């Protein structure tokens, strides 16, 4: 099976590429930096095409004759709304156009979206695919718009909406692990925000199943069935770091009130704009960080494919901490 992957050097994309190679697929990756791909895959690296999402020639070359396309590349931090839409919507349209023009036998176009596209939930109530999509950030709105590009493409498509993804090679949660190693656990709001999460291995398994015939023209949330509060999440990370044998003092939980979090992110966001940098700590991101719940249900995907997340939060976070420690990241 010939598979084209965008974002193949990213956290999710690289794990997906690894699984596709292990499955015996002929994998082609779009990469801006071939050296980065070589570092991630020092042996038996996939074929690569140098270019980015603005390079239509590279996209056509990658999609040519593909049986499946996995569009993983996305912008998760941006200086403004226009940047989010430029990459997450307009570039998605280019990938779709390239696939439509050069992959006549395409079996599936898989778009890796985000829980942010569906919007937050309420405490005690997990969001499902039948609920209205109500994103509350520029990022979430851009990912929802990207979904619509794919859904209206005329290609055989599947959309997956994972929540927070963690595991080996992840850098997004690394800071939390490093702070936990120092015994410092900052929490925005009251620490009772409810979360859905997924380990990267479980997400990759879902991605591999997303090209099954039954998933065509469906959008799925993809998460572990157990929810966790932000406070529980931080404390579980602290225990995991402590179990690696590293230094992890008694945890000091600092709850940052909502008003203080908004003020802080207004300052950091303004400072980032002044120097032309993107930051996760922006006023727009504060809306997501302070929502009462980000929980979803993957019952539809389980029903249709038999998939189920098997790695518990406790086990997965411990595995992640162990990997960070082993590779000198922690």
- The catalytic residue positions are 139
* DSSP characters over 248-287: -PSPEEEEE-HHHHHHHHHHHHHHHHHTT---SSSHHHHH
Give the CA distances from residue 38 to residues 42, 50, 102, 186, in Å, rounded to whole numbers and listed in that order. 5, 13, 27, 36
Q: Report which of 152, 138, 141, 93 is spatially closest to residue 118, judged by C-alpha positions.
A: 141
Which residues lie below 8 Å from residue 292, measured CB to CB, with a gap of 6+? 120, 122, 123, 192, 193, 194
Angle between helices 91-102 and 138-151 (to 10 degrees): 20
Token pair belonging to 287: 């809306």
Q: Is beta strand 194-195 parallel, antiparallel or unpaired with respect to 228-229?
A: antiparallel
* Rg of the chain on CA atoms, in Å: 19
Dist. CA 310–CA 300, nearest whole Å: 16
Burial class (CB in 10 A: 0-12, 13-18, 19+), 110: buried
The alpha carbon of residue 170 and the mean position of all alpha carbons in its chain are separated, in whole angstroms, by 10
CB 7 within 8 A of CB 165: no
């Amino acid at each position: 099976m010939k598979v084209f992957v965008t974002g193949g050097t990213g956290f999710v994309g690289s794990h997906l590429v690894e699984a596709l190679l292990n499955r015996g697929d002929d994998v082609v990756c779009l990469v801006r930096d071939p050296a980065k791909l070589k570092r991630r895959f020092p042996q038996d690296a996939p074929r690569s095409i140098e270019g980015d999402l603005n390079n239509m020639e590279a996209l056509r070359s990658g999609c040519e004759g593909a049986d499946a396309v996995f569009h993983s590349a996305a912008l998760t931090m941006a200086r403004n709304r226009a940047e989010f839409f430029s990459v997450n919507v307009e570039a998605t349209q280019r990938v779709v156009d390239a696939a439509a023009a050069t992959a006549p036998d395409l079996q599936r176009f898989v778009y890796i979206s985000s829980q942010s596209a569906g919007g937050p939930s309420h405490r005690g109530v997990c969001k499902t695919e039948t609920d209205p999509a109500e994103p509350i950030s520029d990022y979430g709105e851009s990912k929802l718009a990207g979904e619509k590009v794919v859904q209206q493409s005329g290609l055989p498509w599947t959309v997956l909406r994972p929540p927070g993804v963690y595991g080996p090679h992840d850098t997004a949660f690394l800071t939390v692990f490093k702070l936990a190693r120092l015994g410092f656990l900052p929490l925005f709001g009251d620490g009772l925000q409810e979360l859905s999460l997924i380990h990267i291995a479980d997400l990759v398994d879902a991605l591999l199943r997303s090209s099954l015939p039954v998933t065509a023209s469906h959008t799925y949330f993809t998460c572990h069935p157990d929810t966790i509060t932000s406070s529980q999440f931080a404390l579980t990370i602290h225990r995991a770091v402590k179990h690696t044998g590293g230094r992890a003092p008694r945890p000091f939980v600092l709850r940052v009130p909502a008003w203080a979090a908004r003020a802080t992110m207004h300052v950091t966001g303004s400072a980032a704009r002044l120097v032309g940098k993107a930051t996760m700590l922006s006023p727009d991101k504060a809306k997501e960080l302070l929502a009462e719940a980000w929980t979803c249900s993957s019952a539809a995907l389980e029903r249709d494919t038999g998939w189920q997340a098997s790695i518990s939060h406790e086990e997965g976070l411990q595995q992640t901490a162990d990997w960070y420690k082993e590779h000198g990241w922690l």
